[in-house]
Amino acid sequence: MTDTFTPIPTLIITPDEVIPTPYQVPSLAAAVSLEPDGVYTVARTFFGDRALMLDAHLDRLEESARLSGIPLELDRARLRAALRDALHAAGFPDAKFRITVPREDPSRLYLALEPFQPVPEDVQRNGAHVVTLPIARENPVVKTTAWMTVRKPSQDSLPPDVYEGILRSPDGRLLEGMSSNFYAVVDGVLFTAGEGVLAGITRRAVLEIAAELLPVRMDAPRVEDIPRFEEALITSSGRGVVPVTRIDGQPVASGAVGPIVRELRARYDRWTEEHSEPI
């Protein structure tokens, strides 16, 4: 029996036209093994065809290309137009999309989009369970497609009740999630890694907002301090602010979502409404 699925839009933006990819897939995750080696960025839409800090995403895409030795000359107007057209054609209420720049031919951008799936309500209400993993990104400041391939076995092997894996350094520092940034509140201070991690676009906004609530220290939380964590959270462009209430099976404080994360999430949600812009 052959599996059937509804394919998501997957396109190639060339200097002259926008054409479909030679493959069809049901999701962004399924497209990973078919997209070319290179660099990428992932974001989501708001209110159909609006995005948050899209230029910052494209800045990072260009920087990742530069650091990877890819001679990218990004035509942002053309890319935005192609993305708008794809979004309107798909008709998703909101979408998650990935832009990939191939190493071999950076003039042919790959664009894939799927319906946006919000964080499950029970995770937002009760918090997420995460586990620590002894793996690391080879070059954490560059967002390469190779990392998606490297992390996939670990992602696929996570138990069903585990929401994310947190990268743990050999000396016990909790660096970042496989697709997120990680933070912990210890003694009333918000700790998050200041180096050795990807500078998430959402993290910029979250750190700015968090500084209005409590002191922020750019220093990675440590595994040995998990019993002292008062609250914890992860952030990403697709998920926003997500509370973490268990780490490696151990409750964070009382095991309930704390007041700082609740307030930070509320303020971030308001911030996104105020700062989303037309694509």
The beta strand positions in the chain, using DSSP E, are: 10-13, 18-20, 38-46, 50-51, 95-102, 109-115, 128-133, 164-168, 174-177, 181-186, 189-191, 216-217, 231-236, 240-247, 250-251, 277-278
Q: What is the pLDDT of residue 43?
A: 95
pLDDT (tens digit per residue) in 81-104: 999 999 999 999 999 999 999 999
Beta 95-102 vs 109-115: how paired, if at all?
A: antiparallel
Contacts of 76 (CB under 8 A, 6+ apart): 55, 58
Q: Label residue 2 by pLDDT band (50, 70, 90).
A: low
What percentage of residues in the chain have a pLDDT greater than 70?
Answer: 99
**Which tops the pLDDT comparison, 154 or 266?**
266
Instruction: Return phi, psi of residue 57, to 5°.
Output: -60, -45
Residues of the chain with CATH 3.20.10.10: 121-275
| CA pseudo-torsion sign 28, 184, 161, 141 | positive
Selection from 198, 202, 200 nearest residue 276 by Cα: 202
Mean pLDDT of the chain: 94
Q: What is the pLDDT of residue 1?
A: 44
Beta 18-20 vs 240-247: how paired, if at all?
A: unpaired
Instruction: Return phi, psi of residue 212, to 5°.
Output: -80, -15
121-275 falls under which CATH superfamily?
D-amino Acid Aminotransferase, subunit A, domain 2 (3.20.10.10)
Give domain 10-115's CATH architecture: 2-Layer Sandwich (3.30)
Pairwise CA distance, residues 60 & 1, whole Å: 43
3-state SS class at 14:
coil
Q: What is the DSSP string of 249-267?
A: TEESTTSS--HHHHHHHHH
Q: Label residue 4 by pLDDT band (50, 70, 90).
A: confident
3-state SS class at 273:
helix
Instruction: Return phi, psi of residue 124, to 5°.
Output: -65, -35
pLDDT (tens digit per residue) in 14-68: 999 999 999 999 999 999 999 999 999 999 999 999 999 999 999 999 999 999 9
pLDDT (tens digit per residue) in 171-181: 999 999 998 99
Q: Is the pLDDT of residue 154 over 90?
A: no
Q: What is the pLDDT of residue 137?
A: 79
For residues 127 and 256, the answer to whether their CB atoms sit within 8 Å is yes
Q: Label residue 139 by pLDDT band (50, 70, 90).
A: confident
Q: What is the pLDDT of residue 147?
A: 79
Q: What is the pLDDT of residue 132?
A: 96
Q: How many residues does the chain have?
A: 279
Residues of the chain with CATH 3.30.470.10: 10-115
pLDDT (tens digit per residue) in 252-277: 999 999 999 999 999 999 999 999 99
pLDDT (tens digit per residue) in 184-236: 999 999 999 998 888 888 999 999 999 999 999 999 999 999 999 999 999 99
Q: Is the pLDDT of residue 148 over 90?
A: no
- 252 alpha-carbon distance from chain centroid: 23
Q: Is the pLDDT of residue 112 over 70?
A: yes
Pairwise CA distance, residues 79 & 82, whole Å: 5
